[in-house]
Amino acid sequence: MNATKEFIIVESSKLFLRKNFKEVTMQEIVQKTGLSKGAFYHHFKSKEELFTEVLNYFFTHVFVHNYEAYSTESFYAFYHDYANAVQNIGKRYLENMKDEENSFFNMNYFTLIFDALRIFPDFRQTVVTGFKAEIEIWKSVIGKARANGEIQSSMTDEEIAMTFISLSDGIAMHMIVRGIRINEVRDIFLNLWDKLYEQIKV
């Protein structure tokens, strides 16, 4: 990809972490990139096209889990690796803000998704596919842990997976609303995960 185009995506992605699609103006984008409107429209056919690229950037470079790197030795090791990765995602998220005056995030993983769904209804399929893939990975680790005798529960693998994932998402959302520091979120849901784990470990 063209370097300038990539530069525009990365720079304007910072704007989309503070305001939603409608609130970010072309004027702000050209100001942030230091380019002109003509230059922008040379690389993108519309503001919407930029936004699709920004979303793609977020979901392939920022809000992304590298599951291959997580231990599948035990469920315990797996979800601890996952929690640490969430911490790193938070750090990448904050890096996108360090050149802003008021380092307060008004958009987040969830609002970005809902904003995108409103503008691009087809985006739903992409998100749902991603969710399902994530659940499958958790299920397989959990199933293995159950077979190993690491854990034991009346819940199905899928129920355990959904409980862990949804709990962390719910906690994250509450903490974002409360304005808590991103790095503290991990500790809060990891503590609860450990407590849940205690109840299912053999």
Partner DNA sequence: CATTACAGACCGAACAGTCGGTTTAAAATT
Partner DNA sequence: AATTTTAAACCGACTGTTCGGTCTGTAATG
144 φψ region: left (φ > 0), alpha (ψ -120 to 50), beta (else):
alpha
Angle 188-67-126 (CA atoms, 0-180°, nearest 5)? 95
What is the contact surface with its own copies in residues (CB under 8 A)? 19-20, 22-23, 106-108, 110-111, 113-115, 117-118, 124, 127-128, 131, 153-155, 159, 162-163, 165-171, 173-174, 177-179, 188-189, 191-192, 195-196, 198-200
Smallest gap from Cβ 35 to its own copies, in A, equals 24
Residue 101: is it exposed, middle or buried by C-beta count within 10 angstroms (0-12/13-18/19+)?
exposed
Which of DNA, its own copies, none binds 2 (CB below 5-8 Å, type-dependent)?
DNA
Which of DNA, its own copies, none binds 38 (CB below 5-8 Å, type-dependent)?
DNA
Smallest gap from Cβ 22 to DNA, in A, equals 7
Distance CA 89, CA 116 (A): 20
What's the token pair of residue 161? 């997976």
Binds DNA by CB under 7 A, chosen from 6, 31, 37, 148: 37
